[in-house]
Amino acid sequence: MAETSEARASPSAPGGDAGGEDDKPDERMLECNICLDTARDAVVSMCGHLFCWPCLHQWLETRPSRQVCPVCKAAISRDKVIPLYGRGNTKQEDPRNKVPPRPAGQRTEPENNGGFPGFGFGEGFHMSFGIGAFPFGVFTSTFNFGDPRPSAAPRGTAQYEEEQFLSKIFLWVAILFVLWLIFA
């Protein structure tokens, strides 16, 4: 590294291969060890290696049986990384709580998909429409207390929107049915 190091008068620059026009050693310090870009949603492993959380997550997903640090091969796991919060970003959300982008297909729950196709509107929507116990049956369709249901789709996803929409439709159907019973 001594032979043609351009006279940039910075003898302190460590690591011979740094030193291009745009890669200052300071910035390279904050590069993710997987994508080699500046780390976003940065996390650091117990062995001290920096990664983007989405990158590290994908690495852990790729080899579930061999969870090692991509740099030093020390044992590593989701729970043993520390998120880094710089001053810059205002909402200090744990990057591990965000759903990282995953190229592989998302796994869907097997329930609700068999036996009753007409009402298979995804998990989280249960309809009990009891005509026999008429005035009270209506309430069960909208107010389902105490009845353990599978967890609803997370807020913000397309499925969540769909479920909200469907539940509104059924609420209106129920109301119209009640009105029809009263006035007919």
Partner 1 sequence: MANIAAKRVKREIKEVMKSEEIMGGAFKLELINNSWTELQGEITGPPDTPYESGKFLLEIKVPETYPFNPPKIRFITKIWHPNVSSVTGAICLDILKDQWAAALTLRTVLLSIQALLSEAEPDDPQDAVVARQYKEYPSIFAMTATHWTNVYAEGKKAIVDYNRRVQVLLEMGVEEHQARVALSTHNWNLEVATEELFS
Report the interface residues with partner 1, using CB under 8 A.
1, 3-4, 16-17, 19-20, 33-37, 49, 55, 58-59, 62, 66, 68-71, 73, 103
Nearer to partner 1 (CB atom), residue 40 or residue 149:
40
Q: What angle do CA 168, 169, 172 make, to 5 degrees?
A: 90
Shortest separation between residue 3's beta carbon and partner 1, angstroms: 7
Shortest separation between residue 42's beta carbon and partner 1, angstroms: 15
Shortest separation between residue 173's beta carbon and partner 1, angstroms: 45
Nearer to partner 1 (CB atom), residue 71 or residue 174:
71
Nearer to partner 1 (CB atom), residue 101 or residue 115:
101
Q: In what order do the strands lie in the sheet with 81-83?
A: 50-52, 42-45, 81-83
Nearer to partner 1 (CB atom), residue 103 or residue 156:
103
Nearer to partner 1 (CB atom), residue 55 or residue 153:
55
Dihedral angle sign, alpha carbons of residues 139, 145, 148, 151: positive
User: If DSSP codes are grouped into helix, strand and coil, which group holds residue 87?
Assistant: coil
- Which are the contacts of 47, defined by CB distance < 8 A and separation ≥ 6? 69, 71, 72, 74, 76
Shortest separation between residue 34's beta carbon and partner 1, angstroms: 5
Shortest separation between residue 56's beta carbon and partner 1, angstroms: 9
Give CB contacts under 8 A, 24+ apart, made by 134-141.
134/181, 138/174, 138/177, 138/178, 141/170, 141/171, 141/174
